[in-house]
Amino acid sequence: MKPLSYFVCALLLFAASASATAQTPGPSGPDGDAPYINPYSDPYASPAPAPRPSPLISQRLELGAPGHRYPFPIYASLPLDAPAGLRKVKRLVIVVHDERRDAERSLRDITALYAGQTRVAADTLVVAPRFPSMVDAALRGMPAWHRTGWMEGLPSIAVRGRPLPRSSFLILDDLLRHFTAPDRLPSLQTIVLAGHGAGAQMVQRYAVLNPLDESLRATGLGISYLVANAESYLYLSPLRPSRTGRGYARYERGICPTYEHYRYGLEDMPAVLQAYDGRLGRAQLASRYALRHVTYLLGSADNNPEYRGLDKSCGAEAEGATPLARGLGYWGYEMRGHGRNAPKPARHGFTVEGIGHNEAGMYASACAAKALLGSGDWATSATCKALPAQPRG
């Protein structure tokens, strides 16, 4: 009986293995088998990255005024230490990474739009600053931030071996001053600041608060901002989307006493930002912001209220449950002119159809390509739908 029992066990193990194989769907094969879909996965999370091309090497810039210079890491589409190669640059795109701080990836997502187009590659400079953290051992001696403090414009940390604390908004100021210095980019005509996710939050707040926009436009430069899938927005009044789904009203302080605090509103603004350009009143900020050229992009599928990394503080929840809802709410707020005495805003807004919280997918849309690079034959894979100039509700 002993040999027979071994035979029976082996047969049972073989059957179990065959059954498991048959019940575990794999990728689509030549016979058209359906791919396996994990029912517990986040359908709007960024897909697993494909094998990456050879890594770019970050370039080091010396920024700041004389006597207060500091080094900062930049990824760029052209060598920044070769002035001859920068003479033809007409368009400067500064792209801010998301919470992953993968500046190289952000740069590649944009340069992929004009891959193989030699002329565009020569007259377009894409730069992606990387905001260091304390764990970046290779970036010692440079400004560094705790977690996502850079996203809010907060100052870098004060620690021995690092430059004096500096607001991340001042870093963007210094970048703009660097690239618009005389003879740096002698053919420059247009500047675009862009961001996705956490980077979009930074760009939107910078668009409200920076003091350089008008002075750059006065020199004949065009400057605009692209805000893609921001998880929250800086409101310039106490109004928020009504909980009834129609119109706007003050949010209930009993539910969220701090909903108007910075970074969601203008109360309790950090001292570093009050000294930066926060001295203007609400009406002045609203009027100035309305004249700045901003494009909002919202992924039509960025509507998962439980996706990893979503800001779920009560100040963010006061703006809506998902990034899509928050973006639509802010678009409606601007279109209704809730900034007191604010002129009609210089805005464009689009949903990117079928795209969730995915940086590459958003930048590969027709509306993103136009906002980033102007009109042209760009390699896009997603369509856009314009947001209504007079939203309902």
| Residues of the chain under the 70 pLDDT cut | 1-57, 137, 278, 338-343, 391-393
Distance (Å, whole) CA 379 – CA 368: 11
Q: Give the pLDDT confidence of 319-366 residue by residue, as tens digits.
A: 999 999 999 999 999 998 754 555 679 999 999 999 999 999 999 999
Q: Give the pLDDT confidence of 124-138 residue by residue, as tens digits.
A: 999 999 999 877 767
What pTM does this model have? Answer: 0.85
Closest among 64, 69, 92 to 80, alpha carbons compared: 92
Distance (Å, whole) CA 256 – CA 228: 26
Q: For residue 13, how far is the Cα from the chain centroid?
A: 52
pLDDT at 141: 87
The Cα-based distances of 237 to 154, 287, 337 in angstroms read 22, 12, 11
Helix (H, G, I), strand (E, B) or coil at 145: strand
pLDDT at 18: 43
Distance (Å, whole) CA 380 – CA 368: 9
Helix (H, G, I), strand (E, B) or coil at 372: helix
Q: Are 192 and 294 in contact (CB under 8 A)?
A: no
pLDDT at 35: 41
pLDDT at 340: 53
pLDDT at 280: 80
pLDDT at 22: 40
pLDDT at 225: 98
pLDDT at 338: 54
pLDDT at 356: 97
Q: Retrieve residue 140's tokens.
A: 């010692």
Q: Which amino acid is at 319?
A: E
pLDDT at 389: 86
